[in-house]
């Protein structure tokens, strides 16, 4: 599927969840098996020849394509979740939002020192979420080999916060 066709499955919703934000709604893409398959293959493509031990999906929309991406790359899938959802010993990271802060958590044993980790989320906006997840991987001794997004909002320059490894987005806006 061409990128232009894939883009027809992403709907712009102006002023959601608040005024001035153009929300990228991936629901039409999720509803199409054809578009999902194409999107997953395009997410995996740049990393197919690389060693990826873990795909790290960020709650919650990062789970949707993170899991099939891990399948394609024959990698483990690990969740980064909002606070209070994961059991056991955790790595915790507070990060800044536009208003206030939020906390992400990761099971400490899920990433081993030396693991090669590919981070995935649906949308790269300011990059604050990705930066927090990268810091958590590094705290575990993991090596971030790349970051992968379905959608990148270029004008927010979130990739500046994604470290020095490859930043891959399927669709750019």
Residues in contact with 26: Cβ distance below 8 Å, sequence separation at least 6, in sequence order: 9, 10, 61, 64, 122, 150, 151
Under rule CB under 6 A, residue 61 binds ligand AMP? yes
Shortest spacing between CB 118 and ligand AMP, in angstroms? 16
Contacts with 82 (C-beta within 8 Å, 6 or more apart), sequence order: 59, 102, 103, 104, 105
Burial class (CB in 10 A: 0-12, 13-18, 19+), 7: middle
Q: 3-class DSSP state for residue 37?
A: helix
Site string for ligand AMP, 128-157 (x = CB under 6 A): xxx---------------------------
- Clarify whether 152 is annotated catalytic: no
Question: Is 56 a binder of ligand AMP (CB under 6 A)?
Answer: no
Near ligand AMP by CB under 6 A: residue from 5, 8, 21, 50: 21
Q: Are 52 and 77 in contact (CB under 8 A)?
A: no
Residue numbers 114-133 binding ligand AMP by CB under 6 A: 121-130
Residue 114, both tokens? 């030396």
Q: Which residue has the tokens 């992403």?
A: 10
**Three-state SS for 50?**
coil
Using CB under 6 A, pick the residue from 65, 158, 159, 168 that binds ligand AMP.
158
Q: List the one residue out of 31, 38, 37 whose CA is nearest residue 11.
A: 31
Please count the residues of this chain forming the interface with ligand AMP, following the rule CB under 6 A.
17
Among the residue ranges 16-24, 29-37, 39-47, 81-89, the one whose residues contact ligand AMP (CB under 6 A): 16-24
From residue 67 to residue 106, what is the string marking binding to ligand AMP with x (rule CB under 6 A)?
----------------------------------------
Q: Which stretch binds ligand AMP (CB under 6 A): 17-25, 43-51, 105-113, 140-148?
A: 17-25
Active site residue 61: yes
Classified as helix, coil or strand, 4 is helix
Q: Which residues are catalytic?
A: 61, 98
Task: Note the residues at the interface with ligand AMP (CB under 6 A).
Answer: 21-24, 58, 61, 121-130, 158
């Amino acid at each position: 599927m061409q990128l232009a066709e894939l883009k027809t499955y992403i709907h712009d919703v102006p002023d959601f969840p608040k005024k001035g934000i153009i929300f990228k709604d991936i629901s039409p893409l999720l509803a199409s098996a054809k578009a999902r398959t194409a999107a997953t293959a395009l997410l995996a493509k740049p990393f197919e020849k690389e060693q990826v031990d873990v795909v790290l999906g960020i709650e919650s929309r990062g789970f949707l394509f993170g899991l099939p991406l891990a399948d394609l790359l024959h990698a483990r899938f690990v969740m980064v979740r909002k606070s209070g959802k994961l059991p056991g010993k955790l790595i915790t990271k507070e990060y800044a939002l536009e208003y206030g802060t939020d906390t992400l958590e990761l099971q400490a044993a899920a990433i081993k020192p030396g693991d090669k980790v590919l981070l995935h989320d649906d949308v790269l906006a300011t990059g604050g979420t990705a930066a927090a997840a990268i810091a958590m991987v590094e705290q575990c001794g993991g090596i971030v080999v790349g970051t992968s997004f379905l959608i990148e909002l270029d004008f927010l320059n979130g990739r500046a916060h994604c470290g020095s490894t490859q930043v891959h987005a399927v669709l750019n806006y």
